[in-house]
A and B are shown apart, each in its own frame.
Chain A
Amino acid sequence: MSLRATGAVAARVLTQLRRDPRTIALILGVPCVLETLLKEIFAGRSEVFQHTGAPLLGLFPFVTMFLVTSITMLRERTSGTLERLMTLPLGKLDLLAGYGAAFAVVAAVQSAVVSALTFGALGLDVQGSRPLVAALAVANAVLGTALGLFVSAFARSEFQAVQFLPATVFPQILLCGLFVPRGQMAGWLRWLSDALPLTYAYDALAHAAADDVDTRFAVDAGVVCGCIALALALGAATLRRRTD
């Protein structure tokens, strides 16, 4: 690993994003609108917002970064810049870590903005530590980035890359325990849910928000970190210096 190369990639990705103010506005604005909607549709049952507001805060960066990363990486593959990079003294992990670092920065800004709104104007009240919830949001963003990098290897076009979102992310959201507590799921669904990384990300967020930071939380956080490392390693394995 080279810090110089990783830093170069991260700086370049951030510059590309800066050139695209509309995307930045969407990344920051959409979660704010959704959190506001969530509060308003459950205006009569504020406990629902209190219960789901904080975990959602952590799930938005996951979804956003998954999408942004898989498209950026696909463009890198199709434009020939990846081929050029493969002839340069740049390790595959440097490239992936650079992406991860850049999108972690974006996620930090995103979660700061959305947290400010949700904890402030929308009046979400959590017992747990707010910085911990925000930190988990950034970890989820990195998880989304890592999975997006991996999945982009299987997409040949932007159309396919976008379809990977409902294909790989939506089932995880349905099964993570947000909609139905995992305890109420049929056995095979719970087993499936056990095998999906977002389950642990959601669980960690729920525990952090409820100020229930116990060993279960430590296991969750460990699994999330492990999944990030695994997805990055798998992503690196899909990058080939030699192709057909």
Chain B
Amino acid sequence: MNAVRIDRLQVVRGGNVVLQELTCDVARGSVTGLLGPSGSGKTTLMRAIVGVQRIAGGRVTVLDAPAGSKGLRGRVGYMTQAPSVYADLTVRENLRFFARVLGLPGNAVERAIEDVSLAEHSNRVVSRLSGGERARVSLAAALLGAPELLVLDEPTVGLDPLLRRDLWELFHDLARRGATLLVSSHVMDEADRCDALLLLREGRLLAHGTPSELLRRTGADRLDEAFLRLVEEESP
């Protein structure tokens, strides 16, 4: 069972092909890592999945409905790369607003604040927080209402190792509770923490599989090495 099915997705921006005939799936209940260098099309693919990206061709199906369709709003949580929260509101005010839009009760806000370990900052204005803390406010907003699919664009960038570990534990915990997570990163050491990986390069899918499959297939002993071999295989 797949939470996301992508069939020959094509995205063109300003005459440049950003995603080229991309076909892949994201299994339900998995934590899938979307990896690739900066500019490989990760954000564009995520935007297509949440339904805010104009697409030139192909089909994106999310939770058995066309991506971006009305019924999906609120069932898909999206965390953009830049923290998309209101800088002049406090953490709690931000989350309360998004919760009200989603029609959620107040305890959903407290739960999201605790999930991202921001309880002690909850009454601080977002503009006074550090970059990593702001990112976590944005993540908390995506977690509101326990969406079935979470699309997280580089959620752990700039966080200290301890927090990164905590967040990855949270991601797996959410998956155990039935959610599907698609998490992008350009740091290969996070790939080990994923159930499945999508490797993207220059708008094309380089590989798709579990970390151990990719290691076996390439004969590498580390995932960044596997990535290099896959790149070389493709363009010798």
Tell whether, in the assembled complex, residue B51 and residue A85 are in contact, meaning their CB atoms are under 8 Å apart: no
Interface check A89, CB cutoff 8 A: yes
In residues 9-48 of chain A, which contact B (Cβ within 8 Å)?
A: 9, 11-12, 15-16, 19-20
Interface check A5, CB cutoff 8 A: yes
**From B72, which residue of chain A is reached at the shortest CB distance?**
A87
Tell whether, in the assembled complex, residue B73 and residue A88 are in contact, meaning their CB atoms are under 8 Å apart: yes
B141 surroundings in chain A (CB, below 8 A): 84
A241 surroundings in chain B (CB, below 8 A): 51-52, 68
Interface check B91, CB cutoff 8 A: no
Tell whether, in the assembled complex, residue B89 and residue A8 are in contact, meaning their CB atoms are under 8 Å apart: no
A88 surroundings in chain B (CB, below 8 A): 73-74, 98, 101-102
Q: Tell me, rounded to whole Å, the shortest Cβ–Cβ distance linking A206 to chain B.
A: 38
Interface check B13, CB cutoff 8 A: yes
A85 surroundings in chain B (CB, below 8 A): 101
Q: Tell me, rounded to whole Å, the shortest Cβ–Cβ distance linking B18 to chain A.
A: 9
Q: Tell me, rounded to whole Å, the shortest Cβ–Cβ distance linking B153 to chain A.
A: 10
Interface check A79, CB cutoff 8 A: yes
- Choose among A5, A8, A9, A85 the residue with the greatest number of B CB atoms under 10 Å from its CB: A8
Tell whether, in the assembled complex, residue B73 and residue A242 are in contact, meaning their CB atoms are under 8 Å apart: no
Contact string against B for A residues 73-115, beta-carbon threshold 8 Å, 1 for contact and 0 otherwise = 0000001110111111110000000000000000000000000
Interface check A243, CB cutoff 8 A: yes
Interface check B86, CB cutoff 8 A: yes
**From B74, which residue of chain A is reached at the shortest CB distance?**
A89
Tell whether, in the assembled complex, residue A16 and residue B88 are in contact, meaning their CB atoms are under 8 Å apart: yes
**From A80, which residue of chain B is reached at the shortest CB distance?**
B84
- The range of chain A's interface size is 20 to 34
Tell whether, in the assembled complex, residue A15 and residue B89 are in contact, meaning their CB atoms are under 8 Å apart: yes
**From B80, which residue of chain A is reached at the shortest CB distance?**
A80
Q: Tell me, rounded to whole Å, the shortest Cβ–Cβ distance linking A10 to chain B.
A: 11
Q: Which of B14, B73, B82, B97 is close to A12, meaning CB atoms less than 8 Å apart?
A: B97
Tell whether, in the assembled complex, residue A87 and residue B76 are in contact, meaning their CB atoms are under 8 Å apart: yes
Q: Which of B14, B53, B80 is close to A84, meaning CB atoms less than 8 Å apart?
A: B80
Contact string against A for B residues 67-92, beta-carbon threshold 8 Å, 1 for contact and 0 otherwise = 01010011010101011111111000
* Cα A84 to Cα B144 with chains together (Å): 12
**A242-B52 contact, Cβ under 8 Å, with A16-B86, A83-B80, A87-B73:** yes
In residues 2-54 of chain B, which contact A (Cβ within 8 Å)?
A: 13-14, 50-54
A216 surroundings in chain B (CB, below 8 A): none
A20 surroundings in chain B (CB, below 8 A): 88
B102 surroundings in chain A (CB, below 8 A): 88-89
**From A79, which residue of chain B is reached at the shortest CB distance?**
B84
Interface check A244, CB cutoff 8 A: yes
- Choose among A4, A12, A243 the residue with the greatest number of B CB atoms under 10 Å from its CB: A12
**A4-B84 contact, Cβ under 8 Å, with A16-B89, A241-B68, A243-B53:** no
Interface check B161, CB cutoff 8 A: no
Tell whether, in the assembled complex, residue B85 and residue A81 are in contact, meaning their CB atoms are under 8 Å apart: yes
Chain A residues in the interface with B (C-beta under 8 A): 4-5, 7-9, 11-12, 15-16, 19-20, 79-81, 83-90, 241-244
Chain B residues in the interface with A (C-beta under 8 A): 13-14, 50-55, 68, 70, 73-74, 76, 78, 80, 82-89, 93, 97-98, 100-103, 125, 141
The 10 A-B pairs of least Cβ separation, nearest first, read A80-B84, A8-B100, A89-B73, A12-B97, A84-B84, A242-B54, A89-B74, A80-B80, A19-B88, A81-B84
Given contacts A83-B80, A84-B98, A88-B98, 13 further A-B contacts (CB under 8 A): A19-B125, A79-B84, A80-B82, A80-B83, A81-B85, A85-B101, A87-B51, A87-B76, A89-B103, A241-B51, A242-B54, A242-B68, A244-B53
